[in-house]
Amino acid sequence: MRKFLFLSVCVLFYNISFAQNINWVNRNGALKVVGGKILNSKNIEPQLRGVSLSWSIWQGKKYYNEDVVNWLQSDFNINLLRVSMAVQPDGGYLQNPAEQEELITKTIDAAIKNGLYVLIDWHDHNAHQHLAQSKEFFIKMAKRYTGKPNVIYEIFNEPEKIEWQTVKDYAIAVIQEIRKYDSKNIIVVGSPHWDQDVDVAAKDPIKGFNNIAYSFHFYASEPSHQDVLMQKADMAVTLKLPLFVTEWGVGEASGDGKFIVANADKWVAWMEKNKLSSANWNITDKNETTALLKPGASVEGKWKLDMLTPAGLYIRTQLKKLNK
């Protein structure tokens, strides 16, 4: 009987302690870039790990709410949320700026309230073609969130087939606007070829600004995203380019395809070795490999395990194990 009571108390204590949400920003403070690494206020690499919401239109739009943010923190144990604001597609920011801004700021505010770090992602493959709108948007974000160490600005998602100089010129123009209002928070710059050519950026990085990092994306089961891509990133690390894996998926680059667990394990181990922060793609119930939710998953969170896809179960397990 005593043994039973002891076990019951232990289980109760475990459940109570597990349900307590960590304020990750209180733990790490403001982030900074020093010597090619992202460090916290104690000069330690915090290695943020979390998930990315999907495009803020289509199926992904419905998960942009405080209930989902709360659940991702308490159940998935995230310390980073990526808010992927659609820009160019129908219904995105170019057509509906006020609607998109309202949707994402509510979600960002929920993440800040919970002590999470949050990536504000200008989710646009052709951001260089929308420089004026991007500058206007990030001026608003910088004014709104200056002094909030939670916020990280991601100013160009996956530049497509354009040269690094074009990406760099765009980035400098946007950085200049952000820095007028927010002098400290990290700004993540894109790299050519869907955020894969970080080795190119590493040879000619942006200078003259503090706290600049560079996005690196991969899909763990994509045949072309294996050793050659990892070697490109290794070169960037060697050249002390501060990398941030703002998006990665367990499947293929299409978002669908195979989920090869051994490949995902290899990439996770690589990120751990290099202490890289990351956001997994993505919170949606779309019927594809990288979606973390099965079709019909509640828009209020509180997902039982049978509502998670194989990708969702894998990512949830990794986050609960690694975020301590």
User: 153-182, pLDDT tens digit by residue?
Assistant: 999 999 998 999 999 999 999 999 999 999
Sign of CA dihedral 99, 105, 110, 111: positive
287: pLDDT strictly greater than 60: yes
Q: For the segment 121-139, what is each residue's pLDDT rounded down to a tens digit?
A: 999 999 999 999 999 999 9
- Which residues have C-beta within 8 Å of that of residue 147, sequence separation ≥ 6? 182
Query: For the chain, what is the radius of gyration of the CA atoms?
Result: 19
2: pLDDT strictly greater than 90: no
| 19 band by pLDDT with thresholds 50, 70 and 90 | very low
Residue 250, both tokens: 């367990």
CA atoms within 13 A on the CB side of 121: 32
DSSP one-letter code for 35: T
Which domains are seen in the chain, by residue range?
41-322 (3.20.20.80)
3: pLDDT strictly greater than 50: no
186: pLDDT strictly greater than 50: yes
User: What b-and-e string marks burial along 256-290, b requiring 16 or more CB atoms within 10 Å of the CB?
Assistant: ebebeeebbeebbebbeeeebbbbbbbbbbbebbb
CA atoms within 13 A on the CB side of 190: 30
| 15 band by pLDDT with thresholds 50, 70 and 90 | very low
| 20 band by pLDDT with thresholds 50, 70 and 90 | low
Catalytically active residues are 158, 247
**pLDDT value at position 219?**
96
Q: For the segment 219-254, what is each residue's pLDDT rounded down to a tens digit?
A: 999 878 989 999 999 999 999 999 999 999 999 999
Q: For the segment 26-53, what is each residue's pLDDT rounded down to a tens digit?
A: 999 999 999 999 999 999 999 999 999 9
* Summary mean pLDDT of the chain: 93
**pLDDT value at position 161?**
86
Long-range contacts, 63-68 (Cβ 8 Å, 24+):
63/283, 63/284, 63/299, 64/103, 64/104, 64/106, 64/107, 65/106, 65/107, 65/110, 65/299, 65/300, 66/106, 66/107, 66/110, 66/113, 67/299, 67/300, 67/301, 67/302, 68/283, 68/299, 68/300, 68/301
- Which residues have C-beta within 8 Å of that of residue 202, sequence separation ≥ 6? 214, 235, 236, 239, 240, 241
Please give the average per-residue pLDDT across 146-155, as a whole number: 98
